Chains A and B, each alone.
Chain A
Amino acid sequence: MNKNKRKQIKPRYVLWLIIGLCLLFIGLSLSSGGKLNIQEAVSTLVLPMEKGLNSVGQWVDEQKQHSRSVSELLEENESLKQQVDQLNTKISSMENNLSELDSLRELLKMKEVYPDYNMVGARIISKDAGNWYNNFIIDKGSNDGIQKDMNVIYDNGLVGIVTDVSANNSTVRAIIDDTSSVSGMLSKSTELCIVNGDLKLYQDGLLDVEMISKTAQVVAGDEIVTSYISDKYLPGLVIGYISDVSMDSSNLSQNARITPKVSFDNITNVMVITQLKADLVAAEAETEEEES
């Protein structure tokens, strides 16, 4: 009873107060474009606990894996063995090519096209809580040298890009996220294109590719890599492989769908490339200046 006497705020006022507060937050985050201090504070508060809890989740994952039947495993083993054989032959032929390439490069005194980037390994500690977006959080932040716009890869395929950095964790937007858009190119013909994440297409495990030039020859199975003109993505990272191509309704360009190289459902660890594209461009410009 005394509770009622003490305060009897009308629910309506509470609602308006909260709506006002939320609108203020939304306005602030829209105008600042980055992480708000309060956001940073909340995430540093909860993420350490999250880390521990996520290991529980991963344990659940493992149990799910364990429950797969023996026959499935045997089958997979068989097919993997075949794959090993195939890959071994491929490796030996590649090694031949490589030595040839090396000698040719030496002749041309060419710089290596793709230098070995420095990488930092990171563990995924949390995935987006809803069904609408595909962001995740990794356990490395600015203390480990992570910066905004660094590229994230796994298994030699592009996973996404760092969008927010805190001291000990950072947020990564996956390329399958509905808001993601990556400038890509066909690795064979270096024709440029744009790779968009699309929640609808990703139900079938695909990404959307648009703006391939009308004259480009594209067939299923072609590899799409990040382009050299992108200002955020390093060139030459594999995005995926074309699964089907069609003419755009405007008849000015071709559209395609690709299967991403990385299987996003069960990644737990990723690599962050600590080379920023912007720095790379700046460095290249400098050396060019020196040379000229």
Chain B
Amino acid sequence: MRRLIFYVAIVILAFFMQTGVFTHLALGGIVPNLFVICTASIGMIRGKTEGCVVGFFCGILMDALFAMYFGFYALVLAVLGYLTGYVKQIFYEEDMTLPIVIIGVADILYGIAVYLFSFLTRGRMDFPFYLGKIIIPETIYTLILAVFLYRLISWTNRRIEIKGSENRID
């Protein structure tokens, strides 16, 4: 239950930060991607199922307001959440390097997916341009925030786990 509230809170918070605050904090016209951070972090910490579900709900929120096709972002983020779940087996929460690398890779994959399905299909061929001017800058900005956000998510998660174990002893 506690965990469910945590997930709902984090998805909604990410959504409002993304659409309400960070659109005003764009650096060089680029905004970071908080959904990828949340989805990938939860995928890594909690595994495939939860990453997948959290990604789905993040995507649905974004789809509801801005998608060309409703369901597209949900699909991309759900798959990303699932894939990051594979990392759970080889990963310590305290180590920062691996999560940051994974979040970076996830954001690049996200960018490539958006390019493939909604730009290439309309005949925009210049992939190096989109990679250099949109995907990579977005990833860098995202990673800067990921350092803080990942810590926050991981810390909250540990608090929930400790609370959970206390309950079990009772």
Residues of A participating in the B interface, judged by any CB pair closer than 8 Å = 1, 9, 11-12, 14-15, 18-19, 21-26, 28-30, 35-36, 38-39, 42-43, 46-47, 49-50, 53-54, 56-58, 60-61, 126-133, 135, 137, 171, 178-179, 199-200, 203, 265
Contacts and interface: CB of A to CB of B under 8 A. Distances in A.
Contacts of B124: 178, 199-200
**Chain B at the A interface: mostly helix, strand, loop or mixed?**
helix
29 contacts: A9-B49, A11-B52, A12-B48, A14-B48, A18-B53, A21-B71, A21-B74, A22-B71, A22-B74, A26-B75, A28-B70, A29-B70, A42-B64, A53-B16, A53-B19, A57-B23, A60-B24, A128-B23, A129-B19, A130-B62, A130-B66, A131-B29, A131-B31, A132-B114, A132-B115, A133-B68, A171-B66, A200-B124, A200-B130
A204 B60 CA distance: 32
A193 to B, nearest CB: 19
A15 B52 contact: yes
Which 3 A-B pairs rank lowest in CB-CB distance, beginning with the nearest? A25-B71, A11-B48, A53-B20
Contacts of B62: 129-130
B129 interface: yes
Q: What is the interface residue range for chain B against chain A?
A: 35 or more
Contacts of A265: 29
Contacts of B61: 42, 46
Contacts of A133: 66, 68
A199 B134 contact: yes
